[in-house]
A and B are shown apart, each in its own frame.
Chain A
């Protein structure tokens, strides 16, 4: 009955792949910021939350078309990323990295309660009902498919930027050696700000896609914040390909155990898998050997 070609299992696997695309996108911005600046933005999911609010107010309040609203939100969260870097991270660059992590933890509290104070704790959504596709007896959420596609486009764009552009080369160089590159004439402050902007923009992109699937509320960051950190750690912090692999592993575990049990148990299994794997590869799946 539970053969390999069982249609429900296949559906779960396909949905897992789609979910994996979203997870990979979530992990991408965090990994980029970590890899280049050596900082963990604990408040990353809260930036996404603000982006989702931006989408909500632009789309329902000012009736801006979806694509334009998405562009404005992405830009807005990118600016937030820069503000976060200049206001919080920059004064702490000389101190142990854990201080920067804790300071962004303070920002997490701040953003959550700022959203509570400003927007209240109501659940809001865009009111867009995307159809559910039926492909070969499988039901696939259109919103997830869209998110998967956009995530892939975002990742390819980031890859091309890092691999082909001059600034991208400088970012990769800084990530490899923070001490030497400033001596070679790279302005590390500028690179950090650009990286923070890209990290924020990726959070904004994730926000535009997640707002189609989740209701916005001030604590929505807690629903996908922890899993994003676990994906990054499992893949090896700062390792984008590792994060990619880990995102799909996690998504498949969640999706397939969600089929047989409950979606929440899917998360429990994914976390359990994480702990077990940490015993064997605590530096992450694709750790750089130094």
Chain B
């Protein structure tokens, strides 16, 4: 039971933070880190099993735009709109996932097929500019001065921090549950060898569809909340190949195979962007992505387990003196040394 103490303390510290700390800018950064962490973690739940999707930009776009459009045109509260958006993302996931899994499309072929989904969502948003504002972006209407539980709009950064923290916690919990389910073993077997897994009675298509739909709906959920928080979305910030690659980048840099890896990746990317923006102002336009791109290439070549993954693996290799929970190996197929 001793293992739980630091976790409970950390959770209490995170929850208690806004009641003692009120500086809006750091809280804003924290909210962004938490929301993007949720998205990156959702992506990594698939990517971790070798299902590298570049379609998650599409799922996030569906989540954000369906919620916002339903609210503005039909006045459907996000409490109903977000589940509908998640349903739409699930349908899209089945549409793109089923043929891929049924016909054994894996690896980079799968990545390119899912890339089509991102491209389609981006194109549809741009083509329907009479409704969605096209590439100029879209803003959900404010309700009751921007503070309403009915419209899921809050003014205080403290409230948003707690909401984002809650979402992030739920996402991590879902990932934790998946890690301890039969689904995980089935998917690991599939990632190793599809035919062998099928021969031992794993229904390859169904298991892959399960994780895809789960990952897609969670991404849409977090995408919708990103829209509610920012109150502005544009096709380039919530959909398309750029956002999809950004998810890959953060997850890979933080560590795909460890639960908190994508969170570390989100913190690194957002802090990097903000630091560059504050220190260099508009002169820094483009520099953040320049650094991301270089880092992504370097990490894939030299540190495929990511930062947190490598640190944890290094700690786990030490003798038992370093009191770290042992007996768990996170090394996946593409992971580092597995001796």
Contacts of B285-332 to chain A: CB distance below 8 A = 285-290, 292-297, 300-301, 304
A114 to B287, CA, bound (A): 8
The main secondary structure of chain A at its interface with chain B is helix
Q: Which residues of B contact A91 (CB under 8 A)?
A: 301
Select one of B109, B122, B245 contacting A105, CB under 8 A.
Answer: B245
B240-261 vs A, Cβ < 8 Å mask (1 yes, 0 no): 1110010011001000000000
When the two chains form their complex, are residues B297 and A88 in contact, meaning their CB atoms are under 8 A apart? yes
Q: How many residues of A contact B (CB 8 A)?
A: 50
Contacts of B92-133 to chain A: CB distance below 8 A = 95-96, 99-100, 102-103, 105, 107-109, 111-113, 115-120, 122-124, 126-127
Q: Which residues of B contact A (CB under 8 A)?
A: 50, 52, 95-96, 99-100, 102-103, 105, 107-109, 111-113, 115-120, 122-124, 126-127, 240-242, 245, 248-249, 252, 285-290, 292-297, 300-301, 304, 333-334
When the two chains form their complex, are residues B50 and A275 in contact, meaning their CB atoms are under 8 A apart? no
B292 — nearest CB in chain A belongs to which residue? A109
When the two chains form their complex, are residues B120 and A107 in contact, meaning their CB atoms are under 8 A apart? no
A261 — nearest CB in chain B belongs to which residue? B127
A76 contacts chain B at the CB level, 8 A cutoff: no
- In addition to A99-B300, A267-B123, A271-B123, 14 A-B residue pairs with Cβ atoms within 8 Å of each other are A88-B297, A88-B301, A92-B301, A95-B304, A101-B52, A109-B292, A112-B289, A113-B287, A116-B289, A117-B285, A218-B286, A237-B109, A278-B99, A283-B103
A138 contacts chain B at the CB level, 8 A cutoff: no
A263 to B165, CA, bound (A): 43
Q: Which residues of A contact B285 (CB under 8 A)?
A: 116-117, 121
A-B contact pairs, 16 of them (CB 8 A): A96-B50, A99-B300, A105-B248, A106-B295, A110-B290, A113-B286, A121-B285, A225-B241, A229-B112, A233-B113, A264-B123, A265-B127, A275-B96, A275-B117, A282-B99, A283-B103
A58 contacts chain B at the CB level, 8 A cutoff: no
Q: Which residues of A contact B286 (CB under 8 A)?
A: 112-114, 116-117, 218
A270 to B260, CA, bound (A): 39
CB contact under 8 A between A226 and B297, given known A101-B111, A109-B289: no
Measured CB to CB, the closest approach of chain A to B116, in angstroms, equals 5
Q: Which residues of A contact B (CB under 8 A)?
A: 40, 42, 88, 91-92, 95-103, 105-114, 116-117, 121, 218, 222, 225-227, 229-230, 232-233, 237, 262, 264-265, 267-268, 271-272, 274-275, 278-279, 282-283
When the two chains form their complex, are residues B115 and A107 in contact, meaning their CB atoms are under 8 A apart? no
A227 to B119, CA, bound (A): 8
The main secondary structure of chain B at its interface with chain A is helix
When the two chains form their complex, are residues B334 and A96 in contact, meaning their CB atoms are under 8 A apart? yes
Select one of A40, A106, A116 contacting B296, CB under 8 A.
Answer: A106
Measured CB to CB, the closest approach of chain A to B237, in angstroms, equals 14
When the two chains form their complex, are residues A40 and B99 in contact, meaning their CB atoms are under 8 A apart? no
Q: Which residues of B contact A95 (CB under 8 A)?
A: 304, 334
When the two chains form their complex, are residues B113 and A106 in contact, meaning their CB atoms are under 8 A apart? no
CB contact under 8 A between A271 and B119, given known A106-B297, A226-B241, A233-B112: yes
